[in-house]
Structure 1
Protein backbone atom coordinates (compact mmCIF):
# COMPACT_ATOMS: atom_id res chain seq x y z
CA UNK A 1 0.00 0.00 0.00
CA UNK A 2 1.14 3.50 -0.74
CA UNK A 3 0.52 4.53 2.86
CA UNK A 4 3.16 2.12 4.14
CA UNK A 5 5.61 3.19 1.43
CA UNK A 6 5.18 6.85 2.34
CA UNK A 7 5.91 6.15 5.98
CA UNK A 8 8.89 3.99 5.07
CA UNK A 9 10.42 6.65 2.81
CA UNK A 10 9.85 9.39 5.38
CA UNK A 11 11.46 7.41 8.16
CA UNK A 12 14.41 6.36 5.98
CA UNK A 13 15.14 10.01 5.25
CA UNK A 14 14.65 11.05 8.89
CA UNK A 15 11.87 13.47 8.03
CA UNK A 16 8.89 14.48 10.13
CA UNK A 17 5.33 14.56 8.87
CA UNK A 18 5.34 18.32 9.35
CA UNK A 19 8.32 18.63 6.95
CA UNK A 20 6.61 16.63 4.22
CA UNK A 21 3.31 18.43 4.70
CA UNK A 22 5.05 21.79 4.36
CA UNK A 23 6.66 20.66 1.09
CA UNK A 24 3.27 19.56 -0.25
CA UNK A 25 1.51 22.69 0.97
CA UNK A 26 -1.02 20.69 2.94
CA UNK A 27 -1.82 20.28 6.60
CA UNK A 28 -0.08 17.71 8.77
CA UNK A 29 -3.50 16.14 9.29
CA UNK A 30 -3.89 15.62 5.53
CA UNK A 31 -0.44 14.09 5.20
CA UNK A 32 -1.08 11.91 8.24
CA UNK A 33 -4.18 10.59 6.49
CA UNK A 34 -2.02 9.63 3.49
CA UNK A 35 0.26 7.58 5.74
CA UNK A 36 -2.61 5.99 7.64
CA UNK A 37 -4.37 4.99 4.43
CA UNK A 38 -7.48 7.04 5.22
CA UNK A 39 -6.93 9.18 2.11
CA UNK A 40 -5.19 8.43 -1.18
CA UNK A 41 -3.08 11.31 -2.48
CA UNK A 42 -4.14 12.84 -5.79
CA UNK A 43 -1.82 12.63 -8.76
CA UNK A 44 -0.38 16.11 -8.19
CA UNK A 45 0.52 15.19 -4.61
CA UNK A 46 1.98 11.84 -5.72
CA UNK A 47 4.25 13.61 -8.21
CA UNK A 48 5.34 16.08 -5.53
CA UNK A 49 6.02 13.21 -3.10
CA UNK A 50 8.06 11.27 -5.66
CA UNK A 51 10.08 14.42 -6.32
CA UNK A 52 10.53 15.09 -2.59
CA UNK A 53 11.76 11.58 -1.88
CA UNK A 54 13.70 11.42 -5.17
CA UNK A 55 12.03 8.21 -6.32
CA UNK A 56 10.00 7.31 -9.37
CA UNK A 57 6.22 7.17 -9.25
CA UNK A 58 6.54 3.43 -9.78
CA UNK A 59 8.76 3.12 -6.72
CA UNK A 60 6.45 5.32 -4.68
CA UNK A 61 3.39 3.27 -5.60
CA UNK A 62 5.12 -0.10 -5.45
CA UNK A 63 3.29 -2.62 -3.37
CA UNK A 64 5.26 -4.32 -0.65
CA UNK A 65 6.58 -7.66 -1.80
CA UNK A 66 5.47 -10.58 0.30
Structure 2
Protein backbone atom coordinates (compact mmCIF):
# COMPACT_ATOMS: atom_id res chain seq x y z
CA UNK A 1 0.00 0.00 0.00
CA UNK A 2 1.32 3.42 -0.91
CA UNK A 3 0.63 6.83 0.53
CA UNK A 4 1.19 10.26 -0.94
CA UNK A 5 3.06 13.09 0.78
CA UNK A 6 2.81 16.68 -0.40
CA UNK A 7 5.42 19.31 0.45
CA UNK A 8 6.06 22.87 -0.60
CA UNK A 9 9.54 23.76 -1.87
CA UNK A 10 11.04 26.81 -3.47
CA UNK A 11 11.17 27.11 -7.22
CA UNK A 12 14.96 27.10 -7.03
CA UNK A 13 15.01 23.81 -5.10
CA UNK A 14 12.48 22.31 -7.52
CA UNK A 15 14.71 23.22 -10.46
CA UNK A 16 17.74 21.71 -8.72
CA UNK A 17 15.85 18.48 -8.03
CA UNK A 18 14.65 18.31 -11.64
CA UNK A 19 18.22 18.81 -12.88
CA UNK A 20 19.65 16.17 -10.54
CA UNK A 21 16.93 13.69 -11.45
CA UNK A 22 17.48 14.29 -15.16
CA UNK A 23 21.23 13.82 -14.71
CA UNK A 24 20.51 10.48 -13.02
CA UNK A 25 18.00 9.51 -15.70
CA UNK A 26 15.04 9.17 -13.35
CA UNK A 27 11.89 11.10 -12.56
CA UNK A 28 12.03 13.69 -9.82
CA UNK A 29 9.54 11.58 -7.86
CA UNK A 30 11.80 8.50 -8.07
CA UNK A 31 14.84 10.62 -7.23
CA UNK A 32 13.20 12.01 -4.08
CA UNK A 33 11.86 8.56 -3.11
CA UNK A 34 15.39 7.15 -3.35
CA UNK A 35 16.76 9.94 -1.12
CA UNK A 36 14.12 9.28 1.52
CA UNK A 37 14.67 5.51 1.40
CA UNK A 38 18.43 6.06 1.69
CA UNK A 39 18.02 8.36 4.70
CA UNK A 40 15.66 5.94 6.46
CA UNK A 41 18.10 3.06 5.83
CA UNK A 42 21.04 5.05 7.23
CA UNK A 43 19.09 6.05 10.33
CA UNK A 44 18.07 2.42 11.00
CA UNK A 45 21.62 1.20 10.34
CA UNK A 46 23.13 3.78 12.70
CA UNK A 47 20.62 2.88 15.41
CA UNK A 48 21.39 -0.83 15.03
CA UNK A 49 25.13 -0.14 15.08
CA UNK A 50 24.80 2.01 18.22
CA UNK A 51 22.77 -0.73 19.92
CA UNK A 52 25.33 -3.37 18.96
CA UNK A 53 28.20 -1.24 20.26
CA UNK A 54 26.26 -0.55 23.48
CA UNK A 55 25.72 -4.28 24.07
CA UNK A 56 29.37 -5.06 23.36
CA UNK A 57 30.45 -2.28 25.73
CA UNK A 58 28.18 -3.68 28.47
CA UNK A 59 29.93 -7.02 28.01
CA UNK A 60 33.34 -5.38 28.25
CA UNK A 61 34.10 -5.94 24.59
CA UNK A 62 35.75 -3.02 22.87
CA UNK A 63 35.88 -2.90 19.10
CA UNK A 64 36.69 -0.21 16.61
CA UNK A 65 34.08 0.80 14.08
CA UNK A 66 36.11 -0.95 11.39
CA UNK A 67 36.15 -4.17 13.44
CA UNK A 68 32.42 -3.92 14.12
CA UNK A 69 31.66 -3.53 10.42
CA UNK A 70 34.03 -6.34 9.47
CA UNK A 71 32.30 -8.98 11.59
CA UNK A 72 31.30 -11.94 9.41
CA UNK A 73 27.63 -12.36 8.58
CA UNK A 74 25.72 -15.43 9.63
CA UNK A 75 24.35 -17.24 6.63
TM-score by length of 2: 0.30
Q: Which has the larger radius of gyration?
A: 2
